[in-house]
Amino acid sequence: MALSREQQDEIDRQRAQVQATRRITVPALEEILFQALPVLDHGFVRVVDYMGDDGAIVQAARVSYGRGTRKVQEDRGLINYLMRHRHTTPFEMCEIKYHVKLPIFVARQWIRHRTANVNEYSARYSILDREFYMPAPEHLAAQSASNRQGRGEVLAGDEARRVLDLLREDSMRAYDHYIEMLNEDDAGAEGEDAAKRDSAKRDPGRQGLARELARMNLSLNFYTQWYWKIDLYNLMHFLGLRADAHAQYEIRAYAEVMLGTLDRWVPHAASAFREYALGGVRLSATGLAVVRRMLAGEPVDQATSGMSAREWRELMAALGRT
């Protein structure tokens, strides 16, 4: 991830500011506040603001004034209880705001989570940078034969090189045409891309296409940015889906970085989330009955379980049985 000088200067200015406040702050999260945490090749996640901490969850659950004299282990136990029994409202008392830079196709998955406040970079108003996502070779895979929205074996050799060449060439061509239609100088070109500026210089005698129209030629691997504010409960719901091993790698990479910010912000809630949500398994009534029958020593297979073949496979995988 490469930040421009302007971006780094802005981050440095933000981190240099110190505010006096009576509000609760979290030192571990303050350490990384405003910092750009790299994700993928050009993306990042930044925590830019937050409200509340583990104590705010406990306070809301007890509907009390102040923190009281409860012991830390009692607070942790209460948070575990709330998480275990899915009492969600106390977790909604905490909020966090992120600045995220991400490929457009990841943003289109992400926006399906509608329980947040979002303000995205406007390509109607501004010009997008010459930055597009290129998968690392280990993440360049064929279509899965068993999962319509999953990946299969990793491509290798000439096939992988050809795909990467196509992705790069198409992205560069799309951006060159984008700049040409705008009739703007390509200020985003750096390094080897700078050579392309000669073909993307502004023509004073030609009127450029409107930015809101020129952007439609760009592909989904170009980067966008947004501010994304969400409460803790809905953040954990997002992470539970997107940090899962079955999630697409690119959005999972963002979720894993955000999990790290969760650990800093609300360590007790994050620990409970990892224990009961990320690391736990929810059983249906039929699945629970199957487990009880197995514990009683009864031989059970899919045909006698009352479960569909897919449910049975999922249950056996969760129990570590083939």
pLDDT of residue 197: 47
- Residue 192 to residues 43, 92, 189, 195, 196: CA-CA distances in angstroms? 20, 48, 8, 6, 8
In sequence order, which residues have a C-beta less than 8 Å from that of residue 311 and are 6 or more positions away?
Answer: 284, 286, 287
- Amino acid letter, residue 121: Y
Here the tokens at position 20 are: 């006096």
3-state secondary structure of 142: strand
pLDDT at 172 over 90: yes
Tokens standing for residue 264: 């800093």
What are the tens digits of pLDDT across the range 263-298? 999 999 999 999 999 988 889 999 999 999 999 999
How many Å apart are CA 98 and CA 109, to the nearest integer?
17
**Predicted confidence band at 199 (pLDDT cuts at 50, 70, 90)?**
low
pLDDT in tens, 211-220: 889 899 899 9
**Amino acid present at 49:** D
186 pLDDT more than 80: no
Q: Residue 63 above 60 pLDDT?
A: yes
State yes or no: pLDDT of 142 exceeds 80: no
- Residue 180, SS3? helix
> Is the distance from CB of 134 to CB of 167 less than 8 angstroms?
yes
What H or E segment, with its residue span, contains residue 174?
helix 157-182
| pLDDT at position 189 | 52
For domain 5-124+223-278, give the fold: Gyrase A; domain 2 (3.30.1360)
Q: Average pLDDT for residues 108-134, to the nearest whole number?
A: 91
Q: Residue 278 has what DSSP assignment? A: I
Q: What are the start-end ranges of the E strands in 115-160?
A: 117-120, 141-143, 151-154
pLDDT grade for 148, boundaries at 50, 70 and 90: low
Contacts of 174 (CB under 8 A, 6+ apart): 217, 218, 219, 222
d(CA 309, CA 312): 5
Q: Give the pLDDT band (50/70/90) at residue 1.
A: low
d(CA 196, CA 171): 13
Whether the predicted pLDDT of 246 surpasses 90: no
- Residue 189 near residue 213, CB atoms below 8 Å: no
Residues annotated as catalytic (active site), given as ranges: 242
Q: Which two tokens stand for residue 80?
A: 């575990």
Across the chain, the runs of DSSP E, i.e. the strands, are: 37-39, 43-51, 95-103, 117-120, 141-143, 151-154, 223-231
Domain with CATH 3.30.1360.170 in the chain: 5-124+223-278
DSSP assigned state of 275: I
Q: How many whole angstroms separate alpha carbon 27 and alpha carbon 108?
A: 33
Question: Identity (one letter) of the amino acid at 60?
Answer: A
Q: How close are the terminal C-alpha atoms of the chain, in Å?
A: 42
Q: In a 3-state reduction of DSSP, which class is residue 91? A: helix
- Predicted structure pTM score: 0.87
Q: What is the mean pLDDT of residues 163-186?
A: 88
The residue with greater pLDDT, 177 or 190, is: 177
Residue 253's pLDDT is 96
- Report whether pLDDT(79) > 90: yes
For residues 276 and 27, what is the distance between their CA atoms, to the nearest angstrom? 26
Residue 306, pLDDT > 60, answer yes
| Ramachandran angles phi, psi of 299, nearest 5° | -70, 130
Confidence of residue 146 (pLDDT cuts 50, 70, 90): low
Give the C-alpha distances (Å, rounded to integers) separating 11 from 27, 95, 274. Answer: 18, 21, 31
